[in-house]
Structure 1
Amino acid sequence: MFKIAVTGKGGVGKTTLAGTLSRMFARDSYDSLAIDADSDMNLASSIGIKNPPKPLTEYKNLIEERTGEIGGVFKYNPKVDDVVERFGVIGPDGVKMLIMGTVERGGSGCMCPASSFLRAFLRHVILKENTAVILDMEAGIEHLGRGTTRGIDLMIIVVEPGMRSIETASRIKKLSQDIGIKNIAAVVNKGPSKSVKPYLDKFEIPLLGEIPYDPQMVNADLEGLAPIDYGGESVNAIENIKDQVLKMIKHSK
């Protein structure tokens, strides 16, 4: 089993990458679990799921039951092993999907019940040996402050040509290392990697590959189709990135 988190500055294409990877891993016979941990909650459409599940944070009674009463002592490790079967849906290629939903109290050190439950699920859920977990994280760096991605096997930072995106990538790398994430790599989207790679090299962030600007991605979005079902140059590029992801994970184990 391995867990991958996909992150980056807002609008760089992380959800497209996360959803497409989840489908590709499923086609490679992995038990693929895609988790939408972004407050925008758009992962379902990039996978091709028409009827996404209800966000877990809307099950307030469940969260209170598992984490402790409001105002009481929170359980740091609430029961989470039944969450996928009870609250997930199955999409194309057999991809299983969960939506985390929003957390009312964000920020570093938040111990509200919903945040405690989400962290526990991402860290302690017991899955099959051949499971690939793909997390579409919220944009920016706040999730690193909450520590929800602690213990993942690979942090993929999606970067586009531009200094703001590169600066976000450097902050993500530092904060990822602070919570013990050892494998961090980048994917360049919407442009050639040659203008970005010198900065990635400076920050010692290895490059998994690049996704070229592809008008078919825009068409797929307008038609409400998952990129992998629409096809195009970008999908082929993500297939190559998937192979590099597997090599990096296997090399690190």
Structure 2
Amino acid sequence: MTGRIRVGIGGWVYEPWRGSFYPVGMRQKDELAYVGVQLTATEINATYYSSQKPATFAGWAQAVPDGFQFAVKASRFCTNRRVLAEAGESIQKFVHQGIVELGDRLGPILWQFMPTKRFDPDDFGAFLQLLPASVAGVALRHALEVRHESFDDPAFLALARDAGAAVVLADHDDYPAITGHDVGFSYSRLMRSREDEETGYTATDIAGWADRAKAQAAQGDAYLFYIGGAKVRNPAAARTTIMALEQQL
């Protein structure tokens, strides 16, 4: 493999995980550190809703071990708009809020679009030109999660490829499963975990996702996140996937 596989969940603050994933009695302020020991990545959800302070990002980075990375969800004010080409100011505010304080724990930025957002080649192309390649000398990687079937279009894939942005593969009942071109890393979001399955997904399904991640890692880093679905099961799904990958080494 030329890249590294990182497997994680969406966020780390979720009450039903207390006692099912987090040990009973664990202090909430210690939960991120526990995620850092058990998994290899997580998405930061808080940045989608509001800006954070540089010290907050620095604290998150200090809580997790070497090799762990955060995927940072971009602000909704960047993506939930009628004209994406007008998002420049919001994008600059987002990337300059202090994400560089994550240091080598900084993974891709996730740009998530509403299911109602349709593909407009000119507008989306203008949006991609607004995404900075770096901030404060730190290289940025961008992942695009589009949820409308109109994006299942070679023109969109070409725009993403030319911008060096990964297209998120969504495992979801309603969203299109779009596979983008190789841009040096891949990003998958798995959203069909089930409550009646102890590990969220069956052992066969998890083995399949692990195999897929290994194949993607031949081209670069591979990020795999279990989010949504039966959320209470997602840490177990991520941990089981990590163990499956370890057994294959």
TM-score normalised according to structure 2 size = 0.40
Instruction: Tell which has more relative contact order, 1 or 2 (C-alpha 8 A, sep 6+).
Output: 1
TM-score normalised according to structure 1 size = 0.40
